[in-house]
Structure 1
Amino acid sequence: MIGGGALVPDRALLDPQLRERYAREGWMPVAHDGDAVVVATSGGLTANRRVELEQLLGARVREERMPRARFVDAYMSAFGSEVADEAGDGLHRRDPLLSAKTVLSRGQKAVGILILIAIAAAAVLWPLACLIALVAISSVVFLASTLFKFTVALRGSRYDLVDRVTADEIAELDDDELPIYTVLVPVFREARIVGRLVENLGRLDYPVDKLEVIILVEEEDDETREAIAASEPPENFIVLTVPKGSPQTKPRACNAGLRLARGDYLVIYDAEDAPEPDQLKKTVIAFTRAGSSTVVMQAALNYFNARENVLTRMFALEYSYWFDYMLAGLDVADLPIPLGGTSNHFRTSALRELGGWDPHNVTEDADLGIRASALGYRVGVVGSTTMEEATSRMGIFIGQRSRWIKGYMQTALVHARRPLRLIRTIGARRFAAFALLIGGTPLTFLGVIPFTALTIASIVVPLTDLSSVFPVGVLWLCLLNFLVGNGLMVYLNMMGPYKRGAFWLVWWAVLNPVYWLLHSAASYQALWELITKPHYWQKTEHGLSTWTPPAP
């Protein structure tokens, strides 16, 4: 018998070519016992599987059953270095041009240098004309990106594409026929809230024997690991220690979890998430209804602490319009959909086909949504909400948004490396949508501060003085951007609360211009980090809110 302590497999028995099978099928040869090979299993061997393994191993098999968590520990002790390497650099090795590990490709560097030389030469020879041209071009980009979001969201408001699942349909499900579901929860320095995490995920209404919850903890994060142990999680909760490696990011940890996931479906939750208990069952039904081209179901996100302060109210407004209108508009127009960072439910086989997440992209969710779209896959929306904690402190907000905007910059650069190929794959219309949404969003935010300053100057400084520097037409264009662009976004944010009945939020939308100024400040931090430390993951602290999620 194998003892109850840490299990260290005999490496002489392990075949590196079979490590994928070991992980997914839940078996692994670990020791000799006379003329037999001891095979550790986390789910038991069927008669057919036993015969298959005896032929594969060339010896009689003696099965040793153990909890899944112990099996995972044994697997990581044997293949931890391989898991770390594949999680960090697998996508880059398979297709370097799809990875954000390289910020700029050789072609992008050449084009960028030529553009900078041209701008520098124009600035020396025709300084005023160059400045006017840059302001005018930036204004057009700003207005085009804003109009695109407004048009798409307005179109989305006419549809309710959320896959609605009734309580009767859920009650009709047979637990014995439900597929295995894997929940991945990447955590880092979250000791203060893991107790709440275990409680929230423990409420999920899904058969325990069909549900595995893999909590991904970085190797050096002993404090979080100890806090998880102290919370006494159920047996189907597995703590997977992510080996040290670079880059140390959420998507790298998720790639490690994907290697060991045995579910037919897989969902990502963040440490502070409180999903509705029936969300997994709703998603199973939604996938059953959808065609095979739908490989992701996105649940809606909202905030349990929306009333905490002005910042959390603006967060709630933004998420309401995005999930209730923008996603619907993108879907009905068959345009690429950038995923949210949590509550993404995948067909696990399709996720593996896509190569998992890019660990070098700090908005791996948006990147994955674009990659899925490029392969002709679709994203569905399921009628369930996950409650999150909105960032309530200004410094943390700027850091979080700078990471999101930097990730959009990375995603735009990655998928613009082969623009003609992308256009041939997804079509000119969808490529234009990608450019306006993924590329246009950072450019829009970069323009907010200078356009606001120029608009204020045009009001404060006499027009005759300003017109000696800028043509009146350019000044009017900037003013139009300021009024129309901000007016459209205020309107969209006012629409947001209606589907959820949160009418008390509506009038806070008039503060959206100030909210965008904060985004603009974050965008300049994002641009600086893209140049100086492109793969740095700005950690967002959770558990700081004085509010707690309501019981479901």
Structure 2
Amino acid sequence: MFVRRLGKVDEPQPVRTRERLGEALVARGLLSREQLERALDYQRRTGDRLGRILIALGYVRRQQLYQVLAELWGYPFVDLLCEPLDLHLARRFDPETLVQRRCFPVRVQGSEVWIATAEPPSRELEEFVQAVLGPVRVRPLVTTEWDIDHAIRRVFRDVVLDRASLGLYFRNPDESARQVLVRWQKILLWCVIAGLVFSLLVAPRLTAIVISAVVNGAMFAYVVFRFVVAMVGAQHEHVQAIQDDEVRALRDDELPMYTVLVPVYREANVVGHLIENLRRLDYPHSKLEILLLIEEDDVETLHAAKAARPPETVTFIVVPDGVPKTKPKACNVGLLFARGEFLTIYDAEDRPDPDQLKKAVVAFRKGPPELVCVQAALNYYNATENLLTRMFTLEYSDWFDYVLTGLDRLRLPIPLGGTSNHFRVDRLRELGGWDPFNVTEDADLGIRAAAHGYRVGVINSTTWEEANTRVGNWIRQRSRWIKGYLQTLLVHSRHPVRLVRTAGLRNTLAFILLIGGAPFAFLSLIPLWSLTLVWVITRTHAFDILFPPLVLYISLFNLLIGNGLMIYLGMMAGFKRRRYELIPFALLNPFYWVLHSIAAYKAVWQLITKPFYWEKTQHGLSRYLQSRPVAEHTS
């Protein structure tokens, strides 16, 4: 009945039939009458295709469905995993176009070109093929979407890898972190170093005063900016960007296709939990495309993911092995195969609020045309596990609940978090996707969007993650983040005049204070505290020359008021989520900053020695991994 290897059997002629898909599946014993009725009811509610619904509900296997569709459409079915492919023919087409059109060229047979398609064959398919190959006769074949994606990854492996790794660099080298410093930045750096050495030799006292003034002044500016932004966010603490009524008002038949990218690497111990968490998403499963991005050499995670028996809506995308081996490169591969109108990213340990996708849809529909992305809040389900997780949770609560909200209200650039950012797919492709050479690709993309005149917003939804429970693991993660901030600062300051013209002076200054201020503050912490400690112990007046009155007042503000403000923000962070038991730990914030400082020095060293190295964060270490859901914490 079905054709597996073309050319080995006589091909049936197209025979058109009026038989409906559901009835055909029931007649062949592949679907029960009760299942068909449930699927038809689902279709009336969502307006989606019956075939996609049957696959999403798990009633019919994908290949069985398309074999029946091949009969109904009157064309042969082809299994692209078994069928020899004409590589020369296939590579005359663009792989991204083949993904979007759901077709793949198989071979030339006489005067015909055989084209496998997962869509009903049409005149449009013929015109597309003829636009590439010229006046040829097109012979449609039927196959699954999964077969098409697999064939594209197999035949275009080098193209997929090049576009994922170097697409942004070839499109605009100035927006890529592949080159750490451009020529003028190198010249400026050496001039600054030479100038400091010369000044210290010629006028050591004056040079020391200038350095002290610059460091303390920059620290003062960062602390004030950070506090003001957080307080603006706090003013809107109880303002919900998306109301529950707006979510309930959404009709399933009006919802678009949504792609979820899940990059995983060495995550065999948590991938089962991940799939279970994604099952809880409150979104029509037939309109949900989940792409599990697994590195080519990570066989263990692939086997664990298969063993978890994910639903048919989950597709495994094997990411070609190559340099750099980073999360953004994997996401670029996923973007190539994404078919949704909107797209989001979740990490392996994430537990997103079930209605998060719907809130993002509402936000995009309410927002202006230039809204390219909305960021959900991140927080931790194992907040009380130890001292480190408590400090980490307070920090994240302050950042996502107050700082990002303040940036949104002030219409300033928002550096994205690594997960739960929701994009318009067309605008994301227009921006060039993620920079695989930037180890905080999320923050970079948020700033790049602002530089192109787009906006990033926030939504009142939370994704629960696993906080680092071990100091070494925390430092590895934090040093990568700080290194990425430094990369982002260097990349987007390559053309300062152009940046001011496109993003505006206000946004440019905010970008410098936010992205450059944090690493600078962390790097300054240990030297400043060391000077203070030596002065307290020795009571020497040798340091008096570094601190003339104005500099001394700013320095004292940073030491006393600045640390007090950061402690206050930490305390305030515990109130919004009603985690009052965490509030006293905000008093330890200055000591938590010491860990940041250690991570910052490691980040600088790695920026010099191995700028693109992605330091992996281990997940699945928390004893709370099997804990009950965290629905009692409201966002």
* Alignment partners' CA distance in 2, 1:466 and 1:415: 37
TM-score (norm 2): 0.83
Find the counterpart in structure 1 of residue 120 from structure 2: 45
| Correspondence for 1:234 among 296, 304, 311 | 311
Are the counterparts in 2 of residues 8 and 74 from structure 1 also a CA contact under 8 Å? no
Find the counterpart in structure 2 of residue 342 from structure 1: 419
Find the counterpart in structure 1 of residue 85 from structure 2: 9
Which SS does the other structure have where 2:235 is aligned? coil
Find the counterpart in structure 2 of residue 251 from structure 1: 328
* Alignment partners' CA distance in 2, 1:317 and 1:72: 43
| Correspondence for 2:222 among 123, 134, 145 | 145
What is the deviation of 1:475? 5.1
Change (3 A) 1:100 1:228: same
Equivalent residue letter for 1:64: V
What is the deviation of 1:135? 2.2
Gaps of 5+ in 2: 4-77
* Alignment partners' CA distance in 2, 1:540 and 1:6: 39
Q: Which stretch of structure 1 is more off in the superposition, 172-181 or 430-439?
A: 172-181
What is the deviation of 1:19? 2.0
Find the counterpart in structure 1 of residue 612 from structure 2: 535
* Alignment partners' CA distance in 2, 1:259 and 1:542: 27
Are the counterparts in 2 of residues 338 and 368 from structure 1 also a CA contact under 8 Å? yes
| Pair 1:264-2:334 in alignment | no
Equivalent residue letter for 1:21: T
What is the deviation of 1:477? 4.0
Find the counterpart in structure 1 of residue 451 from structure 2: 374
> What per-residue deviation string (whole Å, max 9, x for no partner) do you get for residues 240-280 of structure 1?
11111111111011111111100000001111111111211
| Pair 1:406-2:483 in alignment | yes
Are the counterparts in 2 of residues 84 and 243 from structure 1 also a CA contact under 8 Å? yes
* Alignment partners' CA distance in 2, 1:6 and 1:505: 58
* Alignment partners' CA distance in 2, 1:247 and 1:477: 43
Which SS does the other structure have where 1:220 is aligned? coil
| Pair 1:63-2:138 in alignment | no
Gaps of 5+ in 1: none
* Alignment partners' CA distance in 1, 2:310 and 2:250: 26
User: What pairs with 1:36-435 in structure 2 (closer than 5 Å)?
Assistant: 36-42=112-118, 44-45=119-120, 47-53=122-128, 55-56=130-131, 58-66=136-144, 68-160=145-237, 162-166=240-244, 168-435=245-512
What is the deviation of 1:33? 6.0
What is the deviation of 1:304? 0.5
Which SS does the other structure have where 1:467 is aligned? helix
| Count of aligned residue pairs for this structure pair | 549
Are the counterparts in 1 of residues 500 and 508 from structure 2 also a CA contact under 8 Å? yes
> What per-residue deviation string (whole Å, max 9, x for no partner) do you get for residues 333-369 of structure 1?
1111101110000000000000001111000111100
Are the counterparts in 2 of residues 146 and 485 from structure 1 also a CA contact under 8 Å? yes
Find the counterpart in structure 1 of residue 96 from structure 2: 20
> What per-residue deviation string (whole Å, max 9, x for no partner) do you get for residues 480-500 of structure 1?
312122111111111112222
Find the counterpart in structure 1 of residue 581 from structure 2: 504
Are the counterparts in 2 of residues 25 and 262 from structure 1 also a CA contact under 8 Å? no
What is the deviation of 1:501? 1.7
Change (3 A) 1:270 1:16: farther
Change (3 A) 1:469 1:275: closer
Are the counterparts in 2 of residues 30 and 38 from structure 1 also a CA contact under 8 Å? yes
Q: Which stretch of structure 1 is more off in the superposition, 426-435 or 44-53?
A: 44-53
Q: Which stretch of structure 1 is more off in the superposition, 46-55 or 482-491?
A: 46-55
Equivalent residue letter for 2:354: P
Equivalent residue letter for 1:496: A
What is the deviation of 1:51? 4.7
Equivalent residue letter for 2:89: L
Change (3 A) 1:472 1:186: same
Which SS does the other structure have where 1:157 is aligned? helix
Change (3 A) 1:282 1:109: same
| TM-align CA RMSD | 2.0
Change (3 A) 1:186 1:6: farther
How much identity, in percent, do the aligned residues show? 49
Equivalent residue letter for 1:274: R
> What per-residue deviation string (whole Å, max 9, x for no partner) do you get for residues 281-303 of structure 1?
22112211112111101111100
Which SS does the other structure have where 1:29 is aligned? strand
What is the deviation of 1:24? 1.9
Largest Rg, 1 or 2: 2
* Alignment partners' CA distance in 2, 1:8 and 1:244: 24
Equivalent residue letter for 1:497: G
